Amino acid sequence: MAEMNRFTRDHEWARRDGELVRVGISDYAQDALGDIVFVELPQPGRRVAAGEAVAEVESTKTVSSVMAPVAGEVVEVNAALASQPETINRDPFAAGWLFALRPVRVAELDDLLDETEYRKYVEELSR
Amino acid sequence: MLRTPLFGAHEHLKARLTEFAGWEMPLSYSGVAAEHRAVRESSGVFDLCHMGRLVLEGTGVAPVLERLAPSRIATLRPGRARYTVILNGDGGIVDDVIVTRESDTRYHLCVNAVNRERVVDLLRKTADGGDTRVADLTLETAQIAVQGPDSAELVRPLLAGADFPAYMHTVRGEWEGQEIVVSRTGYTGELGVELFLPAAAAPSLWQRLVEEAVPCGLGARDTLRLEAGYPLYGHELTESVTPVAAGIGWVVDWSRSDLPARARLERDRKAPEQLLCGFSLSAPGVPRDGFPVFLDGRSVGVVTSGNMGISVGHGIGMTWLPAAHTDPGNAIEIEIRGRRIPAVVEQPPFYTRGTVRQSVD
């Protein structure tokens, strides 16, 4: 069964991937940012707290911080984004992932919004 | 907020909107990068109705303009356009404008939206008592730019048989039986024109143009002009700097005996303290307006305009530097989120393959 995406109110998605938690930004976030032209990714090995700014996503219009949805250690980053940051616009939930964490407590994911709750949250924002 | 005659078209195209100088304007439609590339590679169309359009009539117009601008205006031939600046008494830039001579005694002035009222006011004060009438036609006229290597073909049916204008020239064209002005001017670094026409005729012309050209918003307008090395009023150009220091000293006609603010302009020519410079980041990153700039480890100012250069592929920007340190290749640093990123001074344009001056048969 495919793992479900979880969401933060800052528009990151987080998804279990074996022992890791893969993280990216939502479709709503990439659309709001516009054309993404540069991504600054964390160093693997860095330990981060939930809510800590881990990456920066820059569009032609603005820059936005990407927060760690759960506490953990950065173990992988999506190096392909260095040369093709626009992948995030094209495919935010798959090829446009940003980094993967080894979570301190994977159960922290359950504290995040599920797909339905996030959709409702975004609808309220857009209203 | 003011809306242009094309606002309905922007809503129909589901543009992202933004406030600019009191106007509700399209920021982007399909995305800044796609619009930017369309202008570099094919053609794009821009709603520029927010720009100020003034008509000056009378025998006193050229002398009035020459009291305010450091260029020679009286020698401008009918049908020619000239980029120049309006100066304050101290040689600072009140606005950068395009003057077009329409006839012996009639001139058109395209001014920045943010400065329109100030410029109208200054023109009327300077004209006081002489034969110069200043009319602000901004709200009853429209301005649409068609820019990009394919723009000549797109515009040709509007020329009513006239040749496509040479760089900084204008010709009369026609749209739906009404006369329009086709001006070979722009702000993208590419071949293109700006079309001036009555407001009521604008929506149908826009509709016609977007059938072939990509609609572009202010986002792409800004990334295109930055790559082309054009300064922007309020960012690079302000009342406290002269055109000489701001890299557009070529607008000054030094042979004029009645050159306004000559002392200040001469000072900036002979011994400038600071000069406006372009820079390219040597490492990945995006410099943005207001980011601190360092030279030899000390803070020397801020980025006046910065972004990712979409066609050049790296971060670019402009800043003021002490005059002794402005040689191309000089190392500086831009502070981005607390980290100093290396950059080098570069003489704009950053994008050097622009078609702006290309001749058209």
Q: Is the pLDDT of residue A1 over 60?
A: no
- In tens, the pLDDT along A92-126 reads 999 999 999 999 999 999 999 999 999 999 999 88
Q: Is B120 left (phi over 0), alpha (psi -120 to 50) or beta?
A: alpha
Q: Per-residue pLDDT averaged across B35-44, rounded? A: 98
The rounded mean pLDDT for chain B is 97
Question: Between chains, do A35 and B31 touch, taking CB under 8 Å as contact?
Answer: yes
Q: Supply the angle between the helices B218-228 and B32-41 in degrees, to the nearest 10.
A: 50
Q: Which residues contact A22 (CB under 8 A, 6 or more apart)?
A: A14, A15, A16, A97, A99, A100
- In tens, the pLDDT along A70-91 reads 999 999 999 999 999 999 999 9
Q: Per-residue pLDDT averaged across B84-90, rounded? A: 97
Q: Per-residue pLDDT averaged across B175-196, rounded? A: 98
B341/B325 Cα distance (integer angstroms): 18
Q: Please tell me the predicted confidence (pLDDT) of residue B129.
A: 84
Instruction: Give the helix/strand (H/E) hosting A25.
Output: strand A20-25
- In tens, the pLDDT along A15-70 reads 999 999 999 999 999 999 999 999 999 999 999 999 999 999 999 988 999 999 99
- B78 at A interface, C-beta within 8 A: no
Q: Is B123 left (phi over 0), alpha (psi -120 to 50) or beta?
A: alpha
Nearest chain A alpha carbon to B27: A61
Nearest to B173 by CA among B151, B193, B189: B193
B361 confidence band (pLDDT: 50, 70, 90): confident
Domains along chain B with CATH numbers: 7-49+139-228 (3.30.1360.120), 53-136 (3.30.70.1400), 273-346 (2.40.30.110)
Q: Which residues contact B222 (CB under 8 A, 6 or more apart)?
A: B232, B305, B307
| DSSP secondary structure string for all residues of B102-159 | EETTEEEEEE-GGGHHHHHHHHHHHHTTSS-EEEE-TTTEEEEEEESTTHHHHHGGGS
Q: Is the pLDDT of residue B146 over 90?
A: yes
Q: Is the pLDDT of residue B256 over 90?
A: yes
A2 confidence band (pLDDT: 50, 70, 90): low
B253 confidence band (pLDDT: 50, 70, 90): very high
Reported ipTM: 0.79
Instruction: Give the helix/strand (H/E) hosting A99.
Output: strand A99-103
Q: Per-residue pLDDT averaged across B56-66, rounded? A: 97
- In tens, the pLDDT along A57-74 reads 999 988 999 999 999 999
Nearest to B23 by CA among B5, B44, B45, B39: B5
B228 confidence band (pLDDT: 50, 70, 90): very high
Architecture of the domain defined by A11-126:
Beta Barrel (2.40)
Chain B CB contacts of A35 below 8 Å: 31-34
- B285 at A interface, C-beta within 8 A: yes
Q: Please tell me the predicted confidence (pLDDT) of residue A126.
A: 80
Q: In chain B, at which residue ranges do the beta strands (DSSP E only) sit?
A: 16-20, 23-28, 44-47, 52-57, 81-87, 93-103, 106-111, 133-136, 141-147, 170-175, 178-183, 192-198, 214-216, 274-281, 292-295, 298-308, 315-322, 331-336, 339-346
Q: Please tell me the predicted confidence (pLDDT) of residue B272.
A: 97
Nearest chain B alpha carbon to A64: B337
Q: Are B291 and B340 in contact (CB under 8 A)?
A: no
Q: Please tell me the predicted confidence (pLDDT) of residue B349.
A: 97
> Would you tell me which residues 92-131 of chain B have a C-beta closer than 8 angstroms to some C-beta of chain A?
none
Q: Are B183 and B81 in contact (CB under 8 A)?
A: yes
**Secondary structure (3-state) at B35:** helix
Q: Per-residue pLDDT averaged across B251-260, rounded? A: 97
Q: Which residues pair with B17 in a beta bridge?
A: B26
Chain B CB contacts of A86 below 8 Å: 33
| DSSP secondary structure string for all residues of A66-80 | EE-SS-EEEEEE-GG
Q: Which residues pair with B183 in a beta bridge?
A: B170, B194
Chain B CB contacts of A34 below 8 Å: 16, 28, 31-32, 219
- In tens, the pLDDT along B112-143 reads 999 999 999 999 999 988 899 999 999 999 99
Question: Between chains, do B337 and A89 touch, taking CB under 8 Å as contact?
Answer: no
A93/A91 Cα distance (integer angstroms): 6
Question: Between chains, do B337 and A56 touch, taking CB under 8 Å as contact?
Answer: yes
